[in-house]
Amino acid sequence: MKFCSECGGSIELRIPKGDDRDRYICDDCDHIHYINPRVIVGCLPVYEDKVLLCKRAIEPRYGFWTLPAGFMENGETTEEGAARETWEEARARVSNMHLYRVFDVPYISQVYMFYRCALDEGLFGVGPESLETALYTEQDVPWEEIAFPVVRETLKAYFDDRRRDNYPVVVDAIRYRKPPQKN
Amino acid sequence: MKFCSECGGSIELRIPKGDDRDRYICDDCDHIHYINPRVIVGCLPVYEDKVLLCKRAIEPRYGFWTLPAGFMENGETTEEGAARETWEEARARVSNMHLYRVFDVPYISQVYMFYRCALDEGLFGVGPESLETALYTEQDVPWEEIAFPVVRETLKAYFDDRRRDNYPVVVDAIRYRKPPQKN
């Protein structure tokens, strides 16, 4: 942030009175610009013994597999956002949604929220942000080509929990680790 | 948003290519400014048969009672944020934190996340954003003077769940309703 989005004035990074951390503050109109973490909402769509994955057609992690997910938008609920992303990326409708995994990723100021849900009628397609989409059984998941740690952990937890037929909601934090490189 | 925070240029509200909703876009540098929901993190601190509430010293809802909660900050986890807010508002340390209630409030683009937790040693004080703080049993909670619907619902759920000794994680949405006026 270099300019005030309210008045166009110049911005200074300093601690406002009564606060305890640096904020972007306008030199002209004194507006304080707060920057907060963003929420990524996604689905774990299940059909029979398979889960729906999307091969990314966009960076980051082009060509790697992921669960349908994306930035939550203003004016929607987390559940609505997760369903919207699933339609956008995999042309799939979902139902019976249950919050399943929350991941804090503080080093990039993101919170991921994944909903476990049913893939309606087992139908899906390919949205513009995906190269392809597919249903995978546990042994067929391309484990070495999963795009993000939060997706790998959600998938592993799901297959474990399914063996126990018990799906507790778990909050976890992802601390920094270097992503694997694709060969 | 009236000016580009990157270059100071003028801002137009329009749908970017490949998108499906209005965004703030700079006429000069073409930067797209996304605005996303914010996360409010809070605690339900429990000591013996009582919960810790704070009487608000700030607007909105000055003088009403609330659970310690506030905007999640960059670089922290939801749990860290909830504990930080509890320290800031009630000078209380908490432990044994469990995600308990998630509330989507789409009409103001907010997501609330409350952690059920133990109030360490039953100790607390009064932070600068509180007029007073107190431990309340179920029958003593000032139910008519609770600041926000999300707080009232979290408290009611907690006392109900405690009778069953079962605390499921529940996601709910708060749709618009006019707040009660204080007499």
pLDDT on residue B180: 67
Per the structure, the count of domains in chain A is 2
- Asked if the structure places residue B19 within a domain, the reply is yes
Residue A18 has pLDDT above 90, yes or no: no
- Asked if the structure places residue B180 within a domain, the reply is no
Q: Using 50, 70 and 90 to split pLDDT, how confident is the model at A181?
A: confident
Cβ-nearest to A6 among B2, B7, B128: B2
Cβ-nearest to B106 among A35, A76, A171: A76
ipTM exceeding cut-off 0.85 for this assembly:
yes
Residues A2 and A71 in one domain: no
CB distance from A15 to chain B under 8 Å?
A: no
- Asked if the structure places residue A77 within a domain, the reply is yes
Tell me the DSSP string of A142-179.
-GGGBS-HHHHHHHHHHHHHHHHT----EEEEPPP-PP
- How high is the mean pLDDT of chain B? 95
- Asked if the structure places residue A181 within a domain, the reply is no
Residues A27 and A57 in one domain: no
Over residues B3-13, mean pLDDT: 94
Q: Using 50, 70 and 90 to split pLDDT, how confident is the model at A3?
A: very high
Residues A133 and A63 in one domain: yes
Cβ-nearest to A79 among B128, B169, B171: B171
| DSSP count for chain B of H helices, then E strands | 2, 11
pLDDT on residue B183: 58
pLDDT in tens, A42-93: 999 999 999 999 999 999 999 999 999 999 999 999 999 999 999 999 999 9
Residues A103 and A133 in one domain: yes
Element (H, E) at A105: strand A94-105
Q: Residue A146 sits in a domain of what CATH number?
A: 3.90.79.10
- Asked if the structure places residue A75 within a domain, the reply is yes
Residues B27 and B70 in one domain: no
pLDDT in tens, A101-140: 999 999 999 999 999 999 999 999 999 999 999 999 999 9
- Whats the size of chain A, residue-wise? 183
CB distance from B102 to chain A under 8 Å?
A: yes
Q: Residue A4 sits in a domain of what CATH number?
A: 2.20.70.10
Evaluate the CA torsion angle B89, B95, B97, B100 in order and state its sign: negative
- What is the per-residue burial (b if ≥16 Cβ within 10 Å, else e) of B168-177? ebebbebeee
Q: Using 50, 70 and 90 to split pLDDT, how confident is the model at A179?
A: low
pLDDT on residue A22: 95
- Asked if the structure places residue B47 within a domain, the reply is yes
Residues of chain B with C-beta less than 8 angstroms from the C-beta of A77:
104, 106, 173
Q: Is the pTM of this model over 0.90?
A: yes
Nearest CA of chain A to the CA of B30: how many Å? Answer: 15
Portion 138-167 of A in contact with B at CB < 8 A: none
CB distance from B104 to chain A under 8 Å?
A: yes
Q: Cβ of B5 and A1 within 8 Å? A: yes
CB distance from A172 to chain B under 8 Å?
A: no
- Asked if the structure places residue B182 within a domain, the reply is no
Residues B51 and B129 in one domain: yes
Residues B11 and B50 in one domain: no
Range of the domain at B162: 38-173
Over residues A20-39, mean pLDDT: 95
CB distance from A5 to chain B under 8 Å?
A: yes
- Asked if the structure places residue A130 within a domain, the reply is yes
pLDDT on residue A32: 95
Residues of chain B with C-beta less than 8 angstroms from the C-beta of A11:
5
pLDDT in tens, B129-161: 999 999 999 999 999 999 999 999 999 999 999
Q: Cβ of B74 and A102 within 8 Å? A: no
A77, A78, A99, best to mutate vs chain B, most B CBs in 10 Å? A77
pLDDT in tens, B106-123: 999 999 999 999 999 999
